[in-house]
């Protein structure tokens, strides 16, 4: 049994995990459906969103240069990072140069992708996660299990117990508002007292040099405006040409993620504090991270760069709904994670992800930017096959079966024999246990076959004359 | 188009081995709908297991032999959305690098239909004088639903079966967890998915479970049987062809 299967089995045994995932993903599914139904021609809006991203990805260099020029003109400093390590080194160096003791971080999956929490800890810089769910994750010393709701795997009852154990002044009454208040007491001081605020970006706007974040808690604003320095880490695919494009993508993002028309807070940060501004950081740094993205564009995964990290694919995935996010083993879970993780962590360590998918196509159906996720997952399966990563039994099985399937007479003989053998082990039509098919019969019965194959019966009928 | 089109019936490897009466039901309905049906004797499997396992080279070989076998007919009709989807959507994809084969793949793809979609959309046919006093619920198998847009066609045909009432199925468009080799590669995950599906089917209150793909049907029927549910499973074409009074999936013939 490999690492993925072990993690999946552990997840399947965790009944609370199932409860937690169903509560959040189930609600998201219902709300998204309502939001899409209320939208005037969502299908056309998806086409437009996909076209915007494809255009940007095809002209990435142009828009990144434009973004750099405009962000610089607004007073921000743009840094370029080819790898995760390079990005972390830049951020840590900026923090150290500022003499920062503590940073307030607003949730960013890119930050998780590049291992920023770990890099900050290694540099001895205290990190306060200010997103409520990231705060829960930090208290529990875990990793996010979903890209929108990092603490999706925890029930509110588990969170309540965690807050009681770890907060200075925890809630008394067991209600969500009381728990939120407890987190607010814990976090507000840390946000206001941080030396540096670090965020990701939902969008980078090329023609203004601005950075957009969306949150429902306002934690980004509180983490990024009061500190002296604001550092943004963003993947280079986050770029959009202009504000109208950003707004279109925003409409797709919020509806696809939570079913909301808009998040509570949508903020565009364009440069540091200007003369006459009442607040804002003294310095703004934007670290643009490649970390495999230009390679993706060259290696047949350009469509994946459309992804706006809404999480709809995982919310609607039958596999994710059963095993949750941690079982995937990478930064990004679900269908989009199954496509991205081999890029980030290598295919050898993650080949199961593309296979642990029924190819039912639901993820593609709900993707706001029409990423052909099943096709991309098939691509990883093909590469895994080519590179010899698939198990020997599967390779041999497919090989023998395909050889026989190309020889109809032999195939007729083999299928006729298999049918007889299956009938031999069937009991009143059903097979409850079958050697080599334990994967099936451990959990369900196998209906036994008829007395003869279709082709045998059809040939017999033809000999008698008439087709029936 | 001729009045009595020639139709190649590709029964699929699973129907051939596990439930021949689906093939005979398709044959019967196609003939009733005025088609001249031929069963190409060279048929085996469309190659989907190789395709979905990542074995592109073998998938291409099986696609080429299947295309060559199916070229001479007005239509190719298949009692499976999944296998029809492989020919319609994936053959042209995997042969895209070879212009000659691509043209042949596209020509066959354009004439390939899932049986219920064909009867409904191409032939405008309805079952005539077919009666079955029963309640049934319908699961929309994923490939048929999302690759071929099969949703209303089976329901229109089933509505013409006298005495049959269709009950809604919660999550009818949610995958049953079969996924071809997925169900044996990741049995525990597959089991969790089909377990929920079987509960929803059981809760529908219907006597019969219907769908358009034998793989999904075997998965759901096998789980229902293991659970001890009384729900019996048929391919929808069996009812449409008036064979709904024969033994259900797993009931010994």
Query: pLDDT digits over A281-335, tens only?
Result: 999 999 999 999 999 999 999 999 999 999 999 999 999 999 999 999 999 999 9
Q: Which residues of A touch B23 (CB under 8 A)?
A: 454, 458
Query: pLDDT digits over B196-207, tens only?
Result: 999 999 999 999
Percent of chain A with pLDDT over 70: 99
A468 CB within 8 Å of a chain B CB? yes
* Chain B residue at shortest CA distance from A389: B54
| CB-based contact B174 A318, cutoff 8 Å | yes
- Whole-number pLDDT of residue A378: 97
- When pLDDT is cut at 50, 70 and 90, the band that residue B126 belongs to is very high
Query: pLDDT digits over B127-171, tens only?
Result: 999 999 999 999 999 999 999 999 999 999 999 999 999 999 999
- When pLDDT is cut at 50, 70 and 90, the band that residue A467 belongs to is very low
Query: pLDDT digits over A133-179, tens only?
Result: 999 999 999 999 999 999 999 999 999 999 999 999 999 999 999 99
| CB-based contact A450 B19, cutoff 8 Å | yes
- When pLDDT is cut at 50, 70 and 90, the band that residue B3 belongs to is confident
A417 CB within 8 Å of a chain B CB? no
* Chain A residue at shortest CA distance from B177: A358
| CB-based contact B27 A467, cutoff 8 Å | yes
| CB-based contact B58 A398, cutoff 8 Å | yes
| CB-based contact A447 B18, cutoff 8 Å | yes
A424 CB within 8 Å of a chain B CB? no
Query: pLDDT digits over B73-119, tens only?
Result: 999 999 999 999 999 999 999 999 999 999 999 999 999 999 999 99
A439 CB within 8 Å of a chain B CB? yes
| CB-based contact A449 B42, cutoff 8 Å | no
- Whole-number pLDDT of residue B90: 98
- Whole-number pLDDT of residue A468: 46
B121 CB within 8 Å of a chain A CB? no
- Whole-number pLDDT of residue A466: 57
**Measured distance CA(A403)–CA(A32) in Å, rounded:** 46
DSSP collapsed to 3 states, chain A: CCHHHHHHHHHHHCHHHHHHHHHHHHHHHHHHHHHHHHCCCHHHHHHHHHHHHHHHHHCHHHHHHHHHHHHHHCCCEEEEECCHHHHHHHHHHHHHHCCCCEEEECCCHHHHHHCHHHHHHHCCCEEEECCHHHHHHHHHCCCCCCCCCCCCCCCHHHHHHHHHHHCCCCCCCCCHHHHHHHHHHHHHHHHHHCCEEEECCCEEECCCCEEEEEECCCHHHHHHCCCCEEEEEEEHHHEECCHHHHHHHHHHHHHHHCCCCCCCEEEEECCCCCCCCCCCCCEEEEEEECCCHHHHHHCCCHHHHHCCCCCHHHHCCHHHHHHCCHHHCCCCCHHHHHHHHHHHHCHHHHHHHHHCCCCCCHHHHHCCCCCCHHHHHHHHHHHHHHCCCCCHHHHHHHHHHHHHHCCHHHHHHHHHHHHHHHHHHCECCEECCCCCCHHHHCCCCEECCCCCCHHHHHHHHHHHCCCC
A265 CB within 8 Å of a chain B CB? no
**Measured distance CA(B7)–CA(B72) in Å, rounded:** 9
B63 CB within 8 Å of a chain A CB? no
Query: Of B249, B251, B185, nearest to B219 (Cα)?
Result: B249
- Whole-number pLDDT of residue A189: 87
Take residue A455 and report the two structure tokens written for it: 């082709």
- When pLDDT is cut at 50, 70 and 90, the band that residue A191 belongs to is confident
| CB-based contact A457 B20, cutoff 8 Å | yes
Q: Which residues of A touch B149 (CB under 8 A)?
A: none
- When pLDDT is cut at 50, 70 and 90, the band that residue B252 belongs to is confident
| CB-based contact A358 B41, cutoff 8 Å | no
Sequence-distant (6+) residues with CB within 8 A of B52 are A359, A378, A381, B180, B181
Is 80 exceeded by the pLDDT of residue B253? no
- Out of A357, A365, A398, the one facing B182 most closely (by C-beta) is A357
Mean per-residue pLDDT, A218-230 = 93
Whether pTM exceeds 0.80: yes
């Amino acid at each position: 049994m490999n690492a993925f299967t072990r993690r999946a089995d552990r997840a399947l045994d965790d009944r609370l995990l199932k409860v937690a995932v169903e509560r959040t993903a189930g609600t998201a599914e219902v709300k998204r459906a309502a939001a899409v139904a209320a939208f005037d021609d969502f299908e056309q809006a998806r086409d437009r969103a996909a076209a915007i991203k494809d255009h940007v990805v095809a002209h990435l260099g142009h828009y990144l240069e434009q973004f750099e020029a405009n962000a610089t003109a607004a007073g921000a400093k743009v840094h370029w990072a080819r790898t995760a390590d390079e990005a972390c080194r830049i951020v840590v160096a900026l923090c150290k140069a500022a003499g920062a003791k503590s940073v307030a971080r607003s949730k960013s999956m890119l930050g998780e992708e590049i291992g920023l929490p770990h890099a900050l800890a290694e540099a001895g810089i205290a990190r306060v996660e200010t997103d409520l769910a990231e705060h829960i994750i930090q208290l529990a010393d875990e990793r996010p299990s979903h890209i929108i709701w990092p603490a999706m795997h925890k029930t509110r009852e588990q969170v309540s117990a965690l807050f009681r154990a770890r907060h200075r002044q925890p809630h008394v009454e067991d209600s969500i508002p009381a728990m939120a208040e407890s987190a607010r007491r814990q976090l507000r001081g840390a946000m206001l007292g941080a030396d540096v605020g670090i965020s990701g970006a939902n969008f980078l706007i090329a023609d203004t040099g601005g950075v957009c974040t969306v949150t429902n808690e306002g934690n980004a604003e509180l983490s990024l405006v009061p500190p002296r320095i604001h550092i943004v880490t963003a993947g280079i695919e986050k770029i959009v040409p202009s504000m109208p494009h950003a707004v279109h993508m925003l409409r797709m993002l919020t509806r696809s993620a939570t079913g909301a028309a808009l998040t509570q807070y949508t903020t565009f940060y364009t440069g540091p504090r200007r003369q006459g501004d009442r607040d804002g950081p003294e310095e703004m740094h934007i670290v643009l991270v490649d970390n495999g993205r230009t390679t993706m564009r060259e290696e047949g995964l350009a469509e994946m760069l459309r992804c706006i990290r809404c999480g709809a694919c995982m919310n609607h995935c039958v596999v994710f709904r059963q095993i949750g996010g941690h079982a995937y083993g990478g930064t990004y879970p679900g269908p989009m994670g199954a496509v991205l993780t081999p890029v980030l962590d290598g295919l050898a360590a993650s080949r199961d992800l593309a296979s642990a998918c029924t190819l039912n196509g639901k993820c593609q159906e709900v993707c706001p930017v029409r990423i052909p996720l099943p096709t991309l997952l098939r691509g990883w399966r093909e590469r895994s096959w080519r590179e010899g990563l698939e198990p020997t039994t599967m390779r041999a099985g497919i090989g023998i079966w395909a050889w026989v399937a190309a020889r109809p007479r032999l195939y007729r003989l083999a299928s006729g024999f298999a049918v007889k053998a299956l009938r031999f082990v069937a009991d009143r039509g059903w097979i409850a246990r079958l050697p080599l098919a334990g994967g099936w019969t451990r959990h369900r019965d196998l209906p036994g076959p008829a007395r003869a194959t279709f082709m045998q019966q059809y040939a017999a009928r033809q000999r008698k004359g008439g087709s029936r | 188009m001729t009045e009595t089109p020639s139709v190649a019936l590709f029964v699929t490897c699973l129907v051939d081995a596990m439930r021949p009466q689906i093939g005979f039901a398709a044959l019967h309905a196609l003939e009733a709908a005025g088609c001249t049906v031929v069963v190409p004797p060279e048929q085996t499997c469309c190659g989907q297991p190789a395709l979905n396992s990542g074995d592109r080279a073998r998938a291409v070989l099986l696609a080429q032999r299947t295309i060559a076998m199916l070229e001479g007919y007005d239509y190719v009709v298949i009692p499976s959305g999944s296998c029809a989807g492989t020919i319609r959507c994936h053959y042209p994809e995997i042969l895209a690098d070879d212009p000659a084969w691509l043209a042949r793949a596209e020509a066959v793809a354009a004439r390939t239909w899932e049986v219920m979609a064909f009867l409904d959309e191409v032939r405008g046919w309805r079952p005539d004088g077919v009666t079955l006093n029963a309640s049934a619920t319908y699961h929309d198998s994923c490939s048929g639903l999302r690759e071929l847009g099969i949703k209303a066609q089976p329901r229109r045909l089933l509505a013409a079966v006298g005495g049959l009432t269709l009950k809604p199925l919660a999550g009818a468009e949610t995958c049953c967890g079969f996924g071809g080799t997925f169900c044996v590669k990741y049995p525990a995950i597959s089991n969790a998915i089909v377990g929920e599906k079987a509960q929803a089917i059981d809760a529908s209150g219907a006597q019969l479970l219907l769908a358009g793909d034998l793989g999904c049907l075997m998965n759901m029927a096998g789980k229902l049987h293991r659970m001890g549910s009384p729900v019996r499973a048929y391919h929808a074409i069996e009812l449409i062809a008036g064979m709904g009074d024969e033994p259900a999936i797993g009931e010994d013939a």
